Structure 1
Amino acid sequence: MSGKVCSSNSVMQARRTVDQLRVEANTDRIKISIAAAQLVQYCQEHSRSDPLLTGIATSSNPFKDKKTCVLL
């Protein structure tokens, strides 16, 4: 009996795998060259507002220490 249960589980798992592969195969994809060009264009358009490229003004930096440490 356990052989039938194991066999039916593996068949069901195989069917789910085949269904998932069919869905993935039917997914529309764009070419990598087009995606790369779009990514470069997006980065260039938003480079002025990127804090990693432009930095954060010290007056608006929420992580700046409020007080400096003074050793006596």
Structure 2
Amino acid sequence: MSGKTCSSSSSSSSVIHAQKLVDQLRVEASMERIKISLTAADLVRYCQDHRRSDPLLTGIAASSNPFKDKKTCVLL
């Protein structure tokens, strides 16, 4: 009888898991999606508009770089 109880318990657990999965898929399916081409165009436009202030493109002035080593390394 304990085998039946264990099987019933795992069966109800898998049903609950399946129901949660179905609910999540329904939520995802009902989301309004944005076309990739529009999003990519917005991203390109943003990058072009902000390229002058992008430290990866323009670099960081040595005087304002907080990560610059204070001392130089000298090997003897």
Tell me what 1:17 maps to: 21
Which consecutive unaligned segments of at least 5 residues does structure 1 have?
none
- Aligned with 1:69: secondary structure? coil
Backbone CA RMSD of aligned residues: 1.2
2:24 alignment partner AA: Q
In 2 relative to 1, CA 66–4 (structure 1 residues): closer, same or farther, beyond 3 Å?
same
Tell me what 2:11 maps to: 7
Which consecutive unaligned segments of at least 5 residues does structure 2 have?
none
Q: Write the distance in 2 (CA, Å) between the matches of 1:20 and 1:71.
A: 60
TM-score by length of 1: 0.92
2:62 alignment partner AA: T
TM-score by length of 2: 0.87
Q: Write the distance in 2 (CA, Å) between the matches of 1:42 and 1:29.
A: 20
Report percent identity of matched pairs. Answer: 69
The 5-angstrom pairing of residues 61-72 of structure 1 reads 61-71=65-75
